[in-house]
Structure 1
Amino acid sequence: MSWHRRPLCGFDLETTGVDPENARIVTGCVVRFGGGQPSTARSWLSDAGGVEIPAEATAVHGIDTEAARSAGRPAPVVIAEITDALAEDVDAGLPIVAMNAQFDLTLLDREARRYGIRPLFDRAAPRVIDPRVLDKKVDRFRRGGRTLTDLCRHYVVQLNEAHTAEADAVAACAVAWKLANRHPWLKRLDLADLHEQQVHWAREQAEGLRDHFARTDGKQELAASVRLDWPLVPAPPAGVSL
């Protein structure tokens, strides 16, 4: 049976910022999607480790510092539970589906290390499906954006309450399912092959972005910030900050 006919583990985080080395988790969700069963979701709200949530982040996901501190649970507890939930699904043979997986999985890794929690990739060997990487591979020259909202529009996937972790996790799974249906060669790959192919595709895509920045006036300094690793940026050595 093709991977897209089996259950998928959808994963999404909403955060304090866009730098996975320093941002903190605000909300998270792990979803079981598909496989002929109703979707189920586990969601978390963190106190963000006590840091202030910038207004620009609140404008995206709707959670401000006061709400996180009053209703959120301690960050180490939330991060441990999210990591456990993902590890359980990986152990059960489910792939992790995450839009822009490099960001979410790297941020979760750094949060785990921050609090002395054993990181996911030290516990398991996840197979990851990233709709963003797949879409860029199958439709490289399509004009327009590549956000989750853009992909939902293009692949006719309903996205209610965008930028809530549960809605985004479910939508990422639905987009991955639509991609497999629209491009049958994707569903003929087994999960190990699909994962390894995405490692190469993501690197090629990142190299293209880096080269674009390098030759574009006013963006040259951004080239050095493009990471080629996928789905996880390796943690810097102890004592080294990025």
Structure 2
Amino acid sequence: MTAPWHLQRLAPFDLETSSANPEEARIVEAYVGYVGGGLDPIDREPLLVDPGVEVPAEATAIHGYDTAYLREHGIPSEQGVPIAAQAVADAVLEGIPLVGQNIRYDLTVLDRECIRHGVETVEERAGQPISLVIDTLVLSKYLDRWRRRVSAEQGAHVLKTTAQVFGVAWVDEDAHGARYDALVAARVAWQMGRIAHLPLAQRPRVLSGRDDRRPLFDDLAVDLPTLFASQKRWAAEQAASYQEWLRSPKAGEKRDVNAVISGEWPVQAAPVPIP
């Protein structure tokens, strides 16, 4: 009998980049490891990459890497991107699910970087689509849609908040490195899976709202292909809901009546040409 997905081998994955826009972002740090499944973890050193472009101050403020440091300590992007892509493709080939927070962003950035450098994408290297992914952002939004922001600075579904909701330790000084964020996301996913496989009466009330939301965890107590299909649907629904909100007066200063939010997941299709 196959073990529940949270007890199987998982591949935590995360990137640190130069931009929040996946079409423009360049990789500055990448991490892929292996945890769980009754085996010893494989905890590689993060791959530091010189992106070949200036790193904006707002990006440096998040991950701590500035242009000068990356030029001195990182490997050139044309070397780093294929290494990162192959590490992710290896997990896909082995049937080990990738785990991350908002992993659509990371997979899309990696896809664009491969195209930009003229090397094989993850799916081309694996010879198959990416079809086993656990995205803690998609799961968090599904389980706890109405969770409120912690503060003006800390959103309702950012990794820090979700970690705190699910009892996973968070250290601000260590956060926003690729290795740290990937492993925290894997621990959050493990907690989600653990709760989902408990009997209803034993599930802790970790979700917000007055209604008992614990039955929603039933939708996580499934096999990995079913969970992947569900996340694909939930991601599309979440994107449509956000798009509707952005187009409405409720968005206030953020309102954009022409807003278009892609619901593609786990990788957004590439525009032509790639900048």
TM range (shorter): over 0.9
Q: Percent identity?
A: 37
Which residue pairs with 2:56 in the alignment? 54
- Aligned 8 A contact 1:6 1:34 in 2: yes
Q: Where does structure 1 lack aligned partners over 5 or more consecutive residues?
A: none
CA shift, 1:227, in A, is 1.4
Letter in 1 for 2:179: E
Which residue pairs with 1:158 in the alignment? 169
CA shift, 1:204, in A, is 0.5
Distance (whole Å) between structure 2 residues aligned to residue 64 and residue 151 of structure 1 = 28
Distance (whole Å) between structure 2 residues aligned to residue 150 and residue 14 of structure 1 = 19
1:196-233 CA deviation, whole Å, 9 max, x = no partner?
11010001011111111111232232862421111111
- 1:124-163 matched pairs, under 5 angstroms: 124-126=128-130, 127-144=132-149, 145-160=156-171, 161-163=174-176
Letter in 2 for 1:44: L
Q: What TM-score do the two structures reach when normalised by structure 1?
A: 0.93
- Aligned 8 A contact 2:23 2:274 in 1: no
Which among 184, 203, 227 is matched to residue 194 of structure 1?
227
1:12-48 CA deviation, whole Å, 9 max, x = no partner?
0001010111110000100111122343223100001
How many residues align? The count is 239
Distance (whole Å) between structure 1 residues aligned to residue 245 and residue 7 of structure 2 = 37
- Aligned 8 A contact 1:180 1:186 in 2: no
Distance (whole Å) between structure 1 residues aligned to residue 274 and residue 16 of structure 2 = 26
Letter in 2 for 1:227: S
CA shift, 1:91, in A, is 1.1
Q: Is the partner of 1:13 in helix, strand or coil?
A: strand
Q: What TM-score do the two structures reach when normalised by structure 2?
A: 0.83
- Aligned 8 A contact 2:13 2:182 in 1: yes
Distance (whole Å) between structure 2 residues aligned to residue 221 and residue 39 of structure 1 = 45
Which residue pairs with 2:97 in the alignment? 95
1:208 aligns with 2:241: yes
Letter in 1 for 2:104: Q
Q: Where does structure 2 lack aligned partners over 5 or more consecutive residues?
A: 150-155, 198-217
Letter in 2 for 1:141: W
- Aligned 8 A contact 1:27 1:44 in 2: yes
Rate the CA distance shift 1:222–1:28 in 2: closer, same or farther, 3 A: farther
Distance (whole Å) between structure 1 residues aligned to residue 158 and residue 40 of structure 2 = 26
CA shift, 1:142, in A, is 2.1
Distance (whole Å) between structure 2 residues aligned to residue 121 and residue 53 of structure 1 = 28
* Structure 1 runs, 4 residues or longer, greater than 6 Å off: none
- Aligned 8 A contact 2:116 2:274 in 1: no
- Aligned 8 A contact 2:246 2:259 in 1: no
Bigger Rg, which one: 2
Q: Is the partner of 1:26 in helix, strand or coil?
A: strand
Distance (whole Å) between structure 2 residues aligned to residue 27 and residue 183 of structure 1 = 32
- Aligned 8 A contact 1:181 1:187 in 2: no
Rate the CA distance shift 1:223–1:25 in 2: closer, same or farther, 3 A: farther
- Aligned 8 A contact 1:8 1:35 in 2: yes
